[in-house]
Each structure stands twice: as C-alpha cells, then as structure tokens.
A and B are shown apart, each in its own frame.
Chain A
C-alpha cells in the first residue's frame, strides 16, 4: 500500500510531545567537544595567556614609549602553571577629571531616573553608572587606597578570562545538549562559541588596557562589572539562539521525531 494510506499517526500537539534522546549524538557532540576544549584551556592557559599578552603588547606598543610595556607572570592554578599578562602604566585621574566624571555621571543618573525610568537598559546603565560614582568618590577621597594599578588589573582580567574560556564551552554545551541535533552541529556550535570567546577576550583586553593606560584608571570598576562576564553571556546566548531557531525549523518539517 502507498505510504499515504498507511499513515496512521496523528501529529503530536505541543502540549505533551517530547523527543527521544539520541544518547550517542549527545555524548559525542557535547562531551567530546566540551572536555577537549576545557582540557585545552586548563593545560595550555600559560601559552594562551602568553599569546594574548604578546599580541596585546604588539598592538599597544606604537602608542607607548619604548620598554614601558612588559609581560609578567603570576601564579594561578597550582599544578597548571602561571598566567601571563601585560604590565603597563595606568593613567591616574586628575581631580578635575574626577569631578567632571562625577558631574556627568550624576546628571546622567538623574536623567535616566526621571526621563526614562523603568526600562531594562536604563537600570543596567544606572547600575553601571553607580559603580562609576563609587569609583569617582574613591578616587576623590582615598585615591592612595585604590587597590589596583593597571598591571594588577591586567592580571585580574587575564585570570578572569581564563575562567571564561574554561566555562564558555561548558555553558554552551549544557544548553546545546538540550537540543536534538547531531554531534557535528554540536561540535561546530561549541567550537564557534569558543573561538568567538577567544577573539572577544583579546579585543576586550586590548580595549580595557588602552582605556586604563591612556584615558583613566577610574574606569576600571565600570569596565570590570559592566563589560565583564555578563557580556560574554550575550554572544553565548546569541549563538545558542541561532542553533535553537534552526533546530525548531528542522523539527517543524520533520514531525516524525516527536514522541508522545
């Protein structure tokens, strides 16, 4: 009999349908991409951080005098080696600069709270601006107690970045394993995310070091809290959303994969 008359199945509605897990695909796709990437970061972070530092030094050196920039190292994980980071001078803000920043920040906060009150972006910006206010007050009253110079911040950033490189494959892997896709797609997605993260980490590092050394150390806290791991979350979710959207599209055309 033709396929059509043999069609017995009713299309499953969204209420209770699910997908039978393809354990092999999930295992291959997720674990065989997460584990190598995580191990790569764990065992090779000294080399990775050295590369990042050297590249950053190369990019920034034209705007500094000779021998100002250097690469230093410090301990990180006990058995895995040191991290390398760029050593560079920071730009300490003048009192005029601090007060000007404080004024602009407070005006911005006032405008945000009175003109554009309840919006997610407003609240995010407000929190960032408040961090900057704290920083400005710190520099106004107790600048000698500011805990970081540019080099120390550079070290902090690199250590944070190693953590991001380690965790991004895990988080995207957890998300991807919820989607019924074949392992090649999983690999590509996780690898792409890792590469994006790697490049992003480098350009962010360059940008931050440039700002701290050529503009002001005062922006350190804002940069750390506003453009830190939270921003990594954005591209990770974006990449996941592409994958989820294409998976949903495929599932819509291939209804036979659903179970009830």
Chain B
C-alpha cells in the first residue's frame, strides 16, 4: 500500500517510543522490587512515643454511608489517642439516606464527634474537606473514607510523623477487609499488596515520591489553609496534595506500619468507575504539575524523575493503548520489519515485563513479604486486568484532557458500598 513515508516513520517511531517508555517503567519497578526485598528498609516513626501529641481532627467524608458509618465511628472511639486531643468531624455531604440520623446520634452520645451537614454549595470530597477544615480545631488533619476501620493505635502512629519538621503529609497502608468476597476483591488484594508493600515503601526507602492517597493519612492543616485548601476542580485531590507539598519543599512520608482495613469494590462496574475517576483526576494533576515539578528547587534530580514517572503512571495505559493500535496499523501496512532484527527482542522483553499495570514480580514479592502463599497463584489472572485498566484508564485520560481544554468541571462519584450493616455495629 502506498502511504506517505512520514506517516509510516511516525508509526514506527511511536512503536519504538512505547517500547522505550515501557522499558523505563520496567527498570523503575525492578529497582523498587529489588530494594524492597533485599535492602535494609528505612523505618517510619512508628516506635516514637511522645507525650506531646498534637491535637488532631479526623475528617470522614460521607455521602449515603449508612451501611458503613457505624464501623468507622466505633473504631475511632476505640482509639487510644487521648480523647481531649482529638475530634472527629464526619461530613454528611448531601446524603439522602440515614447518614444524618446516625451522625446526630453519635454527636449526642460523644462529645468529640461534631458532624458537619452539607446540603448546599459545591459537592464532592475536596469541597467537603475544605468546609470541614474551616471548623477543625486540630493542627493535624487525618482523613478516613467512610468504609475504613482504623485500629486502636493508628491515630497515634500517623501523628508521630509530624514531629519531623519536613513532613507535610503521611500516608498509611490500605488493606482490603473483604478479600474473600469474590474474584475481583481477591485480585485487588494482590494489587494493593504490590502497590503498598513494595512500591510505596521502596519510594520511601529511596527518598523519592511516596504518594498521599487521600485516606489512612494526614496532613498539616495550616499548609492547606494557607493555600486555599483543596482544588475542588480536581478529582484526585490526594495526588494534587502530594505534588503541591513536594514542589514546595515538604515531604510525604509513607508509614507501612500504619495499616488500616478498607472495603474494596466488589463489582467490576464499580471498579471500572473508580479506576476511570482515578485516571481522570490523576491526569488532571499531571497536566497541572508537570512543569511545576521540573521547576521545583526543592527536589533532587531523582525525585523529579520519579515524580515524572508517578505523574505519568495513569498515562502509561494510554500510551500502550495507542501502541496497540499503532502495531495493528503497522501490521496491516506491511511495515512490521521493525519486528525483525533485534527490535523484536526489545519489544517482547519490555511488553512482557510491563505487560501488567504493575509487574507480576512486584506483586509476587509483596505477597511473599506479607507471608501470603496460595493467593500468589492468582497472579496469571492479573494479565487480563491489563486490558481492563487499558480501557478505563484511557477513558479517564480523555475525560481529563477535555476537562483541561474546556475547563469542564468533573462531577464527584462515590464508590458504592457492599458491607451489610448491623444496628450499632458492622459485619
């Protein structure tokens, strides 16, 4: 077929570009996995005992959370953090179920629970957090999603991070509580292990860019209040906070010992919406922070590099998606000669190493460290997740692109809950 040589050259160049990008990510994941398995780990501050604990405010955004509200509140009431040094502000954000009544009941019974009910103004988690921060008394804000079940010592564990003058935020480890629910939750459990036990911890070890994840984490209130709070136009307020802090000289710590249960999505369509939302939000942050990251005077070269990798993590599937289309086009155009010779070796190696969103050996290593055994046999099933993520992350990316170009406002979508609620407790 006759096509202009430039088009062919571009298609080939894009193909090689995809391979190179995959190799770079593969190297990064290899370094992280190796570091986590074989190198001395940098400890978090979990052993610090300090009688001068800061006053903390726990914020819990809630939209129609009657199924899970009891769980998180009961868990926080069991906390060993001194009662006079913390308050809980559950944020009833436009709920239409029994959330309001549940919160009012807790407020009557417990003096340090002060619900905030929102029925007007901007919707969504960032707006809710901003509003709640205005009434928060704590110098440290700790955020939990409504489906979380914090342990007794978790608040103390997270608060010790802020003794370090450089720390702007801290992030703990999220562990699914409903692992055995179904096939999806079992796969998510594997992925979470890889993401936290290896990826986040390695980034912390290597003094790179651990990410604040928006829940099981905390930040200094004055940092947010001083910069007008969270940007309500961005869905991924957690990623935005991470980059805002790092670019202005603050650090995010990752606390692998600060573990907390969460409810993983139990339906594929819920997971699809969640991942598309994360992609959209993360890519919005990418568009806004790429240049700020490069220009930041507070970050080393390696931090900037890792920051770039992290910013582009939700763009990788998009690149691969177009890489797939590109290779299909090259196939039909009889331009597969780049598969001859040694390029084929690169393509195959890179494609297979990064064939999954997170390399299989990273997930495997994480589960070995966690002491898990038979669940590792589910790894081959993650291969199909690659296509799942490819599709929905690409969708999220294009939504983010449209948001940025047209200044469209994203509508916040809450993740559906599956827990069966017992009166006054949880199952």
Interface residues of A (CB under 8 A from B): 13-21, 76-77, 117-121, 123-124, 127, 131, 134, 138, 142, 145-148, 156, 159-160, 162-164, 166-167, 170-171, 174-175, 177-180, 221, 224-225, 229-230, 232-234, 236-238, 240-242, 244-245, 247-249, 251-252, 259-260
Contacts and interface: CB of A to CB of B under 8 A. Distances in A.
B334 A234 contact: no
A134 B332 CA distance: 9
Interface string B323-357: 01001100111101001111011011101110100
Q: How large is the interface on B (under 10, 10 to 19, 20 to 34, 35 or more residues)?
A: 35 or more
Contacts of B353: 171, 174
Interface string B257-298: 101000000001101100000000000000000000000000
Contacts of A175: 360-361, 364
B364 A18 contact: no
B344 A159 contact: yes
B364 A240 contact: yes
Contacts of B38: 18-21
Given A77-B341, A123-B387, A127-B324, A171 B349 contact: yes
B379 A241 contact: yes
B41 interface: yes
Given A225-B331, A244-B376, 7 more contacts: A18-B41, A127-B324, A159-B344, A167-B345, A238-B377, A245-B377, A251-B368
B368 A163 contact: no
Contacts of A76: 340-341
A223 B347 CA distance: 18
Nearest to B273: A118
A247 B403 CA distance: 47
B349 A167 contact: yes
A115 to B, nearest CB: 13
Chain B contact residues, majority secondary structure: helix
Contacts of B50: none
Nearest to B43: A16
Nearest to B335: A147
B67 interface: no
A195 to B, nearest CB: 18
Interface stretch (B28-36, B132-140, B215-223, B415-423): B28-36
Nearest to B2: A145
